[in-house]
Amino acid sequence: MIQVKNLSKQFGNFTAVNNISFEIKAGEVAGLLGPNGAGKTTTMRMLTGFYNPTGGSIQIDTLSMPANRQTIQKKIGYLPESASSYADMVVWDFLHFAADARGLSAEEKAKGLEKSIAATGISEYLYHPIHKLSKGYKQRVGLASALVHDPSILILDEPTSGLDPNQIAEIQNLIRELSKEKTIILSSHILSEVEAVADRVLIIARGELTYDKSIAELKNQSQTTTLAAFRNAPENLPDILRESLGLPERPQPQMRDGETLFRIAGDKETSHRIFRAAAERNLELTEVYRETESLETLFRSITGGNK
Ligand SMILES: Nc1ncnc2c1ncn2[C@@H]1O[C@H](COP(=O)(O)OP(=O)(O)OP(=O)(O)O)[C@@H](O)[C@H]1O
Ligand SMILES: [Mg+2]
């Protein structure tokens, strides 16, 4: 369980993270979503103990950071934003180095290496220099190094950034697989990437937490519009629709290819009523379809279009 209360970070006079609070339950996958410069990396660096907060508190499994930094760091695997800088090392040496840096015993190290190599699917590449690997595999190696001490919490800073669509899908599958055992916080500036793996989305914009809901709630919030097209529409059609659909105002018609088109907020029930109204009055209804606002559009409206 991760509890963050009124967390802030200032760099000189600049506030990078401003008084944010959230809780992440054990086993949850939370996506920290925000545009460039929002404060995602700064928040993650405070959670992982690389930065001391300027204000507020962080508790991880009832231990507070930074007072229990070393104990907490044993529970956390961190994949930083930029790919590993040990490009000249072969994968195997790099993972040993990561395990030694964690101070693991010989037994823990052997177990940890075996498990993290298997989990990330890199066993074929252990003797390759890191710089020769594809970006997707570099990211897997980074993940393996973050898993080597078998942490219960994973903090992944933009794990899919810079990857091609196939590599993104592979890393997302890997994250989904890891989420069966671990609590995960990952950051991204693309909502669909968060949606693909996370249960929760926390939106951060200009250092402030502006949204904190489950993905299911977020989806419910997206608007569905029903579009109906008529041929030879009578002049009083807006009045007919207003009445049949119980709308507060007459819907505005648009002309399209000689047809009259209406866009009306609403889901299934709206289309049923349109069909019924058309049948009762012998109207030439040519098309009815529904459009759901994409989550990206919703995200832009939540973050004020700053993307
Ligand atoms: N060490 C630092 N010193 C001064 N300012 C910093 C420092 N680290 C970050 N900042 C500033 O704090 C703000 C938040 O940065 P941060 O890296 O946390 O954003 P981010 O959400 O991770 O962005 P990105 O999507 O680009 O990675 C930015 O304006 C950044 O310039
Ligand atoms: Mg960042």
Please state the domain extents for the chain: 2-220, 222-296
Residue nearest atom 3 in ligand 1 by C-alpha distance:
11
Residue nearest atom 25 in ligand 1 by C-alpha distance:
36
Task: Give the per-residue pLDDT at 83.
Answer: 61
Pair 73, 154: CB distance under 8 Å: no
Q: Is the pLDDT of residue 105 over 80?
A: yes
Cβ atoms < 10 Å from Cβ of 160: 24
Q: 40-49, 131-140, 294-303: which has the highest mean pLDDT?
A: 40-49
Q: Which fold has domain 2-220?
A: Rossmann fold (3.40.50)
Which band of pLDDT confidence, cut at 50, 70 and 90, is reported for residue 6? very high
Q: Is the pLDDT of residue 307 over 70?
A: no
Which band of pLDDT confidence, cut at 50, 70 and 90, is reported for residue 306? very low
Q: What is the per-residue pLDDT across 166-201, written as a single tens digit (0 to 9) for each?
A: 989 999 999 999 999 999 999 998 888 898 999 999
Task: Give the per-residue pLDDT at 85.
Answer: 63
Ligand 1 atom index nearest CA of 35:
25
Tell me how far the alpha carbon of residue 123 is from its chain's centroid. 28
Q: Is the pLDDT of residue 77 over 50?
A: yes
What DSSP string describes 237-292? HHHHHHHHHT-SSPPPPEEETTEEEEEEE--HHHHHHHHHHHHHTT-EEEEEEEEE
Q: Is the pLDDT of residue 219 over 80?
A: no
Name the CATH code of domain 222-296 (choices 3.40.50.20, 3.40.309.10, 3.30.70.980, 3.20.20.70). Answer: 3.30.70.980
Full-model pTM: 0.81
Tell me how far the alpha carbon of residue 218 is from its chain's centroid. 12
**3-class DSSP state of 114:** helix
Q: Is the pLDDT of residue 216 over 60?
A: yes
pLDDT, mean over the chain: 91
Ligand 1 site, residue 80, Cβ cutoff 6 A: no
Ligand 1 atom index nearest CA of 34:
21
Ligand 1 site, residue 32, Cβ cutoff 6 A: no
Ligand 1 site, residue 39, Cβ cutoff 6 A: yes
- For a substitution probing ligand 1, which of 11, 33, 48 has the most ligand atoms within 8 Å of its CB? 11
Whole-number Å distance, alpha carbon 266 to ligand 2 midpoint, is 38
Rounded to whole angstroms, the Cα distance separating 155 from 115 reads 18
Ligand 1 atom index nearest CA of 189:
25
Which band of pLDDT confidence, cut at 50, 70 and 90, is reported for residue 90? very high
Task: Give the per-residue pLDDT at 304.
Answer: 64
Ligand 1 atom index nearest CA of 45:
18
- Which ligand has an atom closest to residue 33 CA? 1
Task: Give the per-residue pLDDT at 299.
Answer: 72
Q: What is the mean pLDDT of residues 262-291?
A: 93
More confident residue, 167 or 306: 167
Whole-number Å distance, alpha carbon 122 to ligand 1 midpoint, is 32
Pair 21, 192: CB distance under 8 Å: no
CA angle 301, 47, 3 (to 5 degrees): 75
Ligand 1 site, residue 201, Cβ cutoff 6 A: no
Surrounding residues of ion ligand 2, Cβ less than 5 A: 40-41, 81
Beta-sheet pairing, 153-156 with 183-188? parallel
Task: Give the per-residue pLDDT at 221.
Answer: 74
Q: Which residues pair with 8 in a beta bridge?
A: 55
**3-class DSSP state of 58:** strand
Q: What is the per-residue pLDDT across 116-166, written as a single tens digit (0 to 9) for each?
A: 999 999 999 999 999 999 989 999 999 999 999 999 999 999 999 888 899
Residue nearest atom 7 in ligand 1 by C-alpha distance:
11
Ligand 1 site, residue 18, Cβ cutoff 6 A: no
